[in-house]
Chains A and B, each alone.
Chain A
Amino acid sequence: MPKDSGIGVASKRREDFRFLTGRGKYTDDVALQGQLYAVMVRSEVAHGKIKKIDTEAISEMPGVRAVFTGEDFSEVGGNPAGWLINSRDGTPMREPKRPVLAHGKVRHVGDAYAAVVAETLQQAKDAAEKLAESAVIEELPAIVDMAGAISDSENRVHDEIDDNLCFDWGWIEDNREVVDKALTSSPHVTTLQLVNNRLVPNAVEPRSSIGEYDPGTGEYKLTTTSQNPHLTRLLICAFVLGIPEHKLTVVAPDVGGGFGSKIYHYGEEALVLAAARKLGRPVRWTADRSESFLSDAHGRDHLTTIEVGSTMDGEILAIRTSTLANVGAYLSNFSTVTPTFLHGTLMAGPYKVPHVYVNLKAVFTNTAPVDAYRGAGRPEATYSLERAIDKLSRELNLDPIEVRKKNLLTPDQFPYTSPVGLIYDIGNYQNTLDKAIELADLKNFESRVKKSKSNGKLRGLGLSTWIEACGIAPSNLVGQLGARVGLYDAATVRVSATGTIQVMTGAHSHGQGHETAFAQLVASKLGVAEDAVEIVHGDTSKIPFGMGSYGSRSLAVCGSAMDRAVDKIIEKGKKIAAHMLEADEIDITFENGNFTVNGTDKSKSFGEVAFSAYVPHNYPLETLEPGLEETAFYDPNNFTYPAGAYLCEVEVDPDTGKVTICSFTCADDFGNVINPMIVDGQVHGGVAQGIGQALTEQTVYNEEGQLLTASYMDYTMPRADDLPFLKVDHSCQTPCTHNPLGVKGCGEAGAIGSPPAVVNAVVDALNRGGHAVTHIDMPLSPHRVWQAMQG
């Protein structure tokens, strides 16, 4: 009989009731007495010198309470990059200061150089418009193209950086020569140039922040759309505003999706806090969608050349990549780790490749900052590799499935140290590939090709076998590699006298269903009902500490911290139960919610023990403190390595170039699964974003640095009718060997594995249709596909 609660069960989400009845509480839903509205004044040019901002001109306008410019924040610190990267020659990256408001220069369209605070939103907007009209900004040539940027020393995004280069990174630099040699002596070398298209994350809830200040106590509160309230607090306190950390509470209430874009601390958060302090009233700001396009951190934007050396029968001998990565105008918090350690370290994929070398130059341009977006670096690595392997197979006239099978690591090869510095703990890549082939009904593929042909369509099949590394850790290693924070997490389990449980977690849920899945985890371990467990997240005043949710870390890292804290509860419970049962602690077993003396029927329930902890009448007070509450910090000793195989079937309309996804099949290995329904949902969402990248989404700046795709009219989000039902399976499980739950991350897999599967399928369809197309850059719009078919 299937279980109806606990680990592995598709428990329905407890958060759904409030969302389905309009009772979710998102930042912009919070209304406060006496609140004022802030509106940002944003640059309309990509690059310019700020000559004059006439704040006097609007100070008398109706409702205006304050005007801020970069000048007001020139003394406070800058928002830092979270990771220091060294160039190949050992010099540290160039790290220009990122101000709260642009000062001296504006550096991208949408760069905020002033803010107006007024009684109503409309008044603030009117005044902001007037201020923008009267501001004098001398336009400078825009630096948009990456190759141009690093060869042009006249035009500089930051005056002190002569070649617009942030760093020139080699990974691993010592591999460079060996890889060069291996490629020179390879019987076959496939070369491919690719664009990993720039994307806008587009969580449907726009960013929003409310600052409060209590002059009586000197305490600040920031309510904000964040994936990691503690990190935001740390950045604001330690680097930006210098508020003592214990005087700032950061609350991230319900958050409407993040996908990376809400990891980072943004200037608007500092602005509303500073304004609240100055005015003594709450100050709120909410982006409209156009502002989100202009000012949220974007994702991807790589130009890569990949070379893969192989034998004539497809055994990979060496891989070399060379990439230009756009970091935009300023370094956002994760912008330097994303194209480096989250990208270069994955360049061996799930394959046994002896030699790999990655070179990456990070380039400043007059565009919005670019940072981690769902997958963060790993989609870029996977795309390069999986496209190149497909091209290699075609060139050597080999079956792309067979080429992968030939190169995949085998289960007996784990733990495996890759040539780019990771240690894969466990996996079974053959299993997921076989599973995908089975689920996709590959044996009948040729008959589907015929059927499509009889309908005048070209059908193609694309495969991607991918691996990723998530739950980035351990802290001491990442510290050596340049991280400026630790990557552990924390949880507190608080048992009440009546046996109900609150779990305070450093993870933040913005769609992932933590309130349900974490409750399943804790309840099943303690043998209590799921609804006796409440998950508390998103408020720095309630939670011990935490690094938040991104990089598919919540369950693997925060869940493991929770598991450790529960272990401590059980240990203490055993001591209490031993006393109550007049037995030795070592003779007590905890199972199904009961502490039992081994070999007897004497036992105490979890509830009885909890009660005794708070009403300690019969209690070992001499040796044990009352109460039942434990905190654990957990620092993983490795990443986790989810992996899988994705198969995509497409039809191309040869007359229009339109691509239709006929089927998309995912076989993933996420290790142990807590809630399969939620995991399926994570994969669905990730794959949809990957298909969006492959077929529809593209961020376009023109030569003047104007963002041409700044609304949903111009930026093509995937819609329901762009996608089919997806086939998702995670029955192949190799539990992670180094965390107590045996879990891996599932949040980014879909976005990592899917784009190359789609592009490979389209290229396959075209080749089957007699068009010798080797590559088309994403997004594969009808126009691009049609053009490729014309030769």
Chain B
Amino acid sequence: MTTVKLSVNGKEMSAEVEGRTLLVDVLREKLGLTGTHVGCDTSQCGACTVHVDGKSMKSCSVLAIDVAGAEVTTIEGMANPDGSLSVIQAAFKEHHGLQCGFCTPGMVMTAAALLKENPVPTEGEVRAYLEGNICRCTGYHNIVKAILAASGQDVAAMAGE
């Protein structure tokens, strides 16, 4: 067992971990941050996506000890300081970009990473960027719309509506 210190959503936290403990298990089980989900065991679905030192990562594929000392942001840290939905979260709600909600935390984290890199993406760029995130409910239609809307574009026109 080793003690790993992390800054999670701006709060200093520490947890006892084994060498094989994954970041996602620290978040979910040790810190009770169950918004980050596990949907697969082959690093394919993206439900576990978080930001580590500002970069989006699949927390199911990261060992906790490898990110000791890092700043981690999870879905629980994405709302505005007053608790209201951030622009991306609000766009998901406005455009019905979620149904069962299970892929949603990963989608929001990935969308945030995309818009940071590329503030005004094309539809094709959004779809390509979501390559590592699976949603079984929405057919991606409204997720893509929500992300385009969050980037300030006229999404109804882009979606041909």
Binds B, one of A270-278, A496-504, A685-693, A765-773: A685-693
Contact check, A256 vs B37: say whether CB atoms are below 8 A apart: yes
Contact check, B79 vs A16: say whether CB atoms are below 8 A apart: no
Interface status of A510 (Cβ within 8 A of chain B)? yes
Contact check, A725 vs B159: say whether CB atoms are below 8 A apart: yes
Contact check, B141 vs A22: say whether CB atoms are below 8 A apart: no
Q: Which of A24, A681, A718 is close to B35, meaning CB atoms less than 8 Å apart? A: A24
Contact check, A257 vs B102: say whether CB atoms are below 8 A apart: yes
Contact check, A256 vs B93: say whether CB atoms are below 8 A apart: no
The docked-state distance in angstroms from the alpha carbon of A717 to that of B103 is 14
Q: Given that A712-B134, A721-B128, A726-B141 are known contacts, is A20 also in contact with B41, CB under 8 Å in the complex?
A: no
Flag B13-54 by CB within 8 Å of A: 1 or 0 each: 000001000000000110011111111111011010000000
Q: Smallest distance from the beta carbon of A282 to chain B beta carbons, Å?
A: 15
Flag A196-210 by CB within 8 Å of B: 1 or 0 each: 000001111110000
Contacts of A678 in B (CB 8 A): 96
Q: Which of A21, A122, A203, A713 is close to B79, meaning CB atoms less than 8 Å apart? A: A21
Residues of A1-52 contacting chain B, CB below 8 A: 12-13, 15-26, 28-29, 31
Interface status of A727 (Cβ within 8 A of chain B)? yes
Contact check, A23 vs B35: say whether CB atoms are below 8 A apart: yes
Contacts of B38 in A (CB 8 A): 28, 206, 288
Contacts of B104 in A (CB 8 A): 19-20
The docked-state distance in angstroms from the alpha carbon of A19 to that of B143 is 14
Contact check, A22 vs B99: say whether CB atoms are below 8 A apart: no
Interface status of B127 (Cβ within 8 A of chain A)? yes
Interface status of A620 (Cβ within 8 A of chain B)? no
Flag A500-529 by CB within 8 Å of B: 1 or 0 each: 000000000011110000000000000000
User: Which residue on B lies nearest to A675, using beta carbons?
Assistant: B96
Dominant secondary structure at the A interface: loop
Contacts of A680 in B (CB 8 A): 96, 142
Q: Given that A12-B94, A205-B102 are known contacts, is A720 also in contact with B37, CB under 8 Å in the complex?
A: no
Interface status of A677 (Cβ within 8 A of chain B)? yes
The docked-state distance in angstroms from the alpha carbon of A203 to that of B37 is 13
Residues of B36-92 contacting chain A, CB below 8 A: 36-42, 44-45, 47, 74-76, 78-79, 85, 89, 92
The docked-state distance in angstroms from the alpha carbon of A245 to that of B125 is 53
User: Which residue on A lies nearest to B20, using beta carbons?
Assistant: A122
Q: Which of B39, B85, B100, B103 is close to A17, meaning CB atoms less than 8 Å apart? A: B85
Contact check, B98 vs A257: say whether CB atoms are below 8 A apart: no
Q: Interface residue count for A (Cβ, 8 Å)?
A: 59
The docked-state distance in angstroms from the alpha carbon of A686 to that of B41 is 25
Flag B143-157 by CB within 8 Å of A: 1 or 0 each: 111000000000000
Contact check, B40 vs A256: say whether CB atoms are below 8 A apart: no
Contact check, B96 vs A203: say whether CB atoms are below 8 A apart: no
Contact check, A13 vs B39: say whether CB atoms are below 8 A apart: no
Q: Interface residue count for B (Cβ, 8 Å)?
A: 60
Interface status of B135 (Cβ within 8 A of chain A)? yes
Contacts of B128 in A (CB 8 A): 720-721
Flag B95-117 by CB within 8 Å of A: 1 or 0 each: 01011111111001000000000
Contact check, A22 vs B123: say whether CB atoms are below 8 A apart: no
Contact check, B42 vs A20: say whether CB atoms are below 8 A apart: no
Contact check, B40 vs A684: say whether CB atoms are below 8 A apart: no
Q: Given that A20-B108, A31-B32, A259-B136 are known contacts, is A204 also in contact with B102, CB under 8 Å in the complex?
A: yes
Interface status of A255 (Cβ within 8 A of chain B)? yes
Interface status of B10 (Cβ within 8 A of chain A)? no
Q: Smallest distance from the beta carbon of A713 to chain B beta carbons, Å?
A: 5
Contact check, B93 vs A684: say whether CB atoms are below 8 A apart: no
Flag A95-123 by CB within 8 Å of B: 1 or 0 each: 00000000000000000000000000010
Q: Which of B78, B94, B126, B139 is close to A726, meaning CB atoms less than 8 Å apart? A: B139
Interface status of B3 (Cβ within 8 A of chain A)? no
Q: Given that A26-B102, A256-B101 are known contacts, is A720 also in contact with B44, CB under 8 Å in the complex?
A: no
Q: Smallest distance from the beta carbon of A298 to chain B beta carbons, Å?
A: 15
The docked-state distance in angstroms from the alpha carbon of A17 to that of B108 is 13
Q: Smallest distance from the beta carbon of B47 to chain A beta carbons, Å?
A: 6
Interface status of A151 (Cβ within 8 A of chain B)? no
The docked-state distance in angstroms from the alpha carbon of A28 to that of B35 is 11
Contacts of B28 in A (CB 8 A): 29
User: Which residue on B lies nearest to A684, using beta carbons?
Assistant: B139
Flag A696-722 by CB within 8 Å of B: 1 or 0 each: 000000000000000111000111110
* Interface set of A (CB-CB < 8 Å, partner B): 12-13, 15-26, 28-29, 31, 122, 201-206, 254-257, 259, 288-290, 510-513, 677-678, 680-681, 684-689, 711-713, 717-721, 723, 725-727, 750
9 pairs of A and B residues whose beta carbons are closest in the complex: A22-B35, A256-B102, A19-B101, A688-B139, A511-B100, A511-B99, A712-B44, A684-B139, A29-B34
